[in-house]
Amino acid sequence: MPDYTPPQDPLRVLHDDHELLIVEKPAGLLSVPGKGPELADCLLSRVQEVFPTALLVHRLDRDTSGVMVFGLTPHAQRHLGLQFEKRQVKKTYVARVWGRLEPRTGIVDLPLTVDWPNRPLQKVCHETGRAAETAWRVHRHGDTESRVRLFPKTGRSHQLRVHMLSLGHPILGDPLYASGAALAFPRLMLHSEALRLRHPDGGVGMNFRAKAPF
């Protein structure tokens, strides 16, 4: 990642209380530190400057923007982590993908594994891949692209990016999986729009949203 120049946007807090912190991650910023001092700047470190007790629960890819949750106590981190592990968190993403995606709704159910010779790329593999499932719904079509909402049932690395590629509709601006005209965009057009989860203190369902900036 030699060209790592993360954006310097001020921290955008969507919600905070005694257990939960919800923030909006900008595209181009790592969720956690990479290897080496040049990759130390990340959302976790920025969050902990303001909320010193914040603990990591999940991640978004560097080039993905949108809603992320942190626990502010060890209890909250465990509670939220189990919700993700048990697939109880409802995740909604917005993406712009290449071409006219049809039909308007569907499900991709393809197992994924790391593409070892080309790390960090992932690939579909029916022999060694881990189960991965993504539902989609087209929001609108254009001449050369479709705007879609994506609903991952699992949380594999690069899942949405590889699943859209497997349909022949890579996410626009994807530096790893798009090519040609689909690559000619200023950023990866993928945004974590909403998370629905249960509050660690009492279990009340809560929904957090951040509008896509594209």
Contacts of 117 (CB under 8 A, 6+ apart): none
| CA separation for the pair 8, 81 (Å, rounded) | 28
Count of CB atoms situated within 10 Å of the CB of 179:
10
Terminal-residue alpha carbon distance, the chain: 24
How far is residue 123 from each of residues 16, 137, 184, measured CA to CA in Å? 37, 23, 23
80: DSSP letter: H
| Residue among 97, 66, 91, 93 nearest 166 (CA) | 97
**What stretches of the chain show up as alpha helix (H) in DSSP?**
43-50, 74-85, 159-166
Contacts of 88 (CB under 8 A, 6+ apart): 197, 198
Catalytic residue among 3, 9, 16, 61: 61
Sort 43 into a burial class: Cβ within 10 Å, 0-12 / 13-18 / 19+.
buried
61: annotated active-site residue: yes
Q: Hey, which residues are catalytic here?
A: 61
